[in-house]
Amino acid sequence: MFGLPRSHLMASGSESQGRRGTERPQVLLLRRPLSVLHEALSARFQLLRPWESPVPFDRFLAAHAAGVRALLVTGLTPVDGPLLDALPALRFIVTTSSGVNHIDLAECARRGIAVANAGTIFSLDVAEYAVGLLIDVLRRVSASDRYVRRGLWPRAGDYPLGSKLGSKRVGIVGLGSIGSEIAKRLEAFGCSISYFSRSRKPQVPYTYFPSVGDLAAESNVLVLSCALTKETYHIINRDVMSALGKDGIIINVGRGALVDEAELVKHLMQGEIGGAGLDVFEHEPAVPEELFCMDNVVLSAHFAVHTLEMSSELCQLMIANLNAFFSDRPLLTPVLVRT
């Protein structure tokens, strides 16, 4: 049986035991990962790379299905029932993301497939990025940069003033690992912090609101850092945006579909929202073109998790989880585990 882990389990990062001779275990990749991860994996595992094969994807899977026990998922590549049907020997999935909304966990549990993710490894980097996006939107850093580069400063005069970060009332949607780190950083700037989460967290000093609408009504800024689930899909809707008001700012470092993107574009175009800093989008990599010309919107390509330092740490974690699976040891960052 499988179920949600009570806590993160520790596992050895040693080389897999029980291998036959020096044969390296097979790991299926669905798309090419970052080069540093690809190189690290190649040195330890026999990688199956369908993008390099001349045969169609379904035929590639059929040819290797009997031997594929482990799948490494990069980005938000969907892992659904049809893919699992094509991999009957699969027993382990590890994803390079912290979120697992792209993986059908119910199907994995039913089939006896263990799942691991990146755990909280990205929390500090994402928190820094969220604060950076907020400062950029408020102080108009990117917009001012474009203004200077276009040669407008000597011709059109000083760029319009931005707004200070200190004293802002910030509402955080999702006070988990990332949200808590965001709160700590914004407190240091003199912001007052409130939050909405699945339940009140009595150990934190911040004000809890039982609904996102109530949180928005009492905030200058909403920062989104929660997981995407059926319950949080479009949690930031028209009513929430209206409650936030025409000077309000939305920062999203969670998942694009947390926000009703069409409504956000409409509110921004009509001046009913003050601005936005968006690292994620509802239909990535597609981004609404209406946002491109808005100086009160800062855009980035789902990049909050990526730093040079994090690449090395992520490699170590992915390899350690794979080693743990192949040597029948507890996973480091389990989402579904054998009980």
CA 174 to centroid of chain Cα atoms:
13
- Where helices occur in 7-152 by DSSP H, the ranges are 35-42, 57-64, 81-85, 105-111, 123-139, 141-149
Catalytic one among 107, 218, 284, 313?
284
Question: CB-based burial of residue 101 (10 Å sphere; 0-12 exposed, 13-18 middle, 19+ buried)?
Answer: middle
Catalytic one among 181, 261, 267, 302?
302
AA letter at 102: H
CA distance 29 to 51: 9
CB atoms under 10 Å from CB of 211, counted, come to: 12
Closest CA to 94 of 281, 284, 313, 337: 337
The token duo for 183 is: 């709160």
Backbone φ, ψ for residue 211 (5° rounding): -140, 150
Catalytic one among 140, 255, 267, 329?
255
Question: Would strands 297-299 and 275-278 be described as parallel, antiparallel, or unpaired?
Answer: parallel
Closest CA to 262 of 241, 243, 277: 241
CA distance 338 to 63: 28
Radius of gyration of the chain, Cα coordinates, nearest whole angstrom: 22
Is residue 284 part of the annotated active site? The answer reads: yes
CA distance 303 to 277: 12
Burial 84-95 (b: 16+ CB within 10 A, else e): bebbeebbbbbb
- Give the containing element (helix H, strand E) for 43: none
Residues with catalytic annotation?
A: 255, 284, 302
